[in-house]
Chains A and B, each alone.
Chain A
Amino acid sequence: MQVMVRAEPFDPGAELARLTEGAGPGAGALVTFTGLVRNDGGLAAMEIEHYPGMTERAIRAVADQAITRWALLGGLILHRYGRLLPGEPIMMVATLAAHRAEAFASADFLMDYLKSRAPFWKKEIGEDGAAWVEAKAHDEAALARWDAPASPAQAVKAGS
């Protein structure tokens, strides 16, 4: 799975096309999520700070967990830092698997981890000044659901 942390803008469509073209035999499902800078009235820009070194390591560690847990065939985690404008893509996650259950679940898992365990900090720049975005309790709480072992029903579905 490719991990990219960078300042430059990206084109989610182009990244997906690349993944689709490069998908090997056995890949039957490609799921993707793209996060955008929400165009709330008054937002001039979003600045994203990151911890060089730790960011790549932390994302790579969670990617490896996802690959193992859901037997993924590939994918992509791309996250920007720096100054972003309203409407711009911030990040994307794409997961490639044999079947859709694994592709959906792993993308969901990766997003929950990226929200709370990837060292980025967002600052909203408005007309009246700037404010750091606060972490949300529900994002932290979302991590806990991935600790529970898969139910027998989930295991059966995953094998279908």
Chain B
Amino acid sequence: MEIPNDLLYTIEHEWVRLKDNRATIGISDFAQSQLGDVVFVELPAEGTELTKENTFGVVESVKTVSDVYVPVTGKVVAINKDLESQPDLVNSDPYGKGWMIEIEVSDSSPGEGLLKAEQYAEQCKNQE
């Protein structure tokens, strides 16, 4: 199970890459493996204002459907359009080509309440 050290995580299994005032968001390797084959991803439109801990989309796999939660507050500035035709990128490359949205962060301390890699790893271990 891959859990990169340079990312932050939520207990709902989203990851966040924070850089300046931008946050790139996706779901973790653990999450994609629990969901199984992802068949489509529903994402918000660019420009949507999102509030931390609300849902921003839906990931539908063959087996199940799951909401995804936004880990920081801000405005959607980019969505991964490749997921429209290749939703399985979420499975094959969850931290890379399987990213979902990019947010312009309006939180003053966006990392607050998020998990570091080792904390998240612990969390996953308890759920396996």
The answer to whether A and B interact is no
Q: Which A residues have a C-beta under 8 Å from some C-beta of B?
A: none
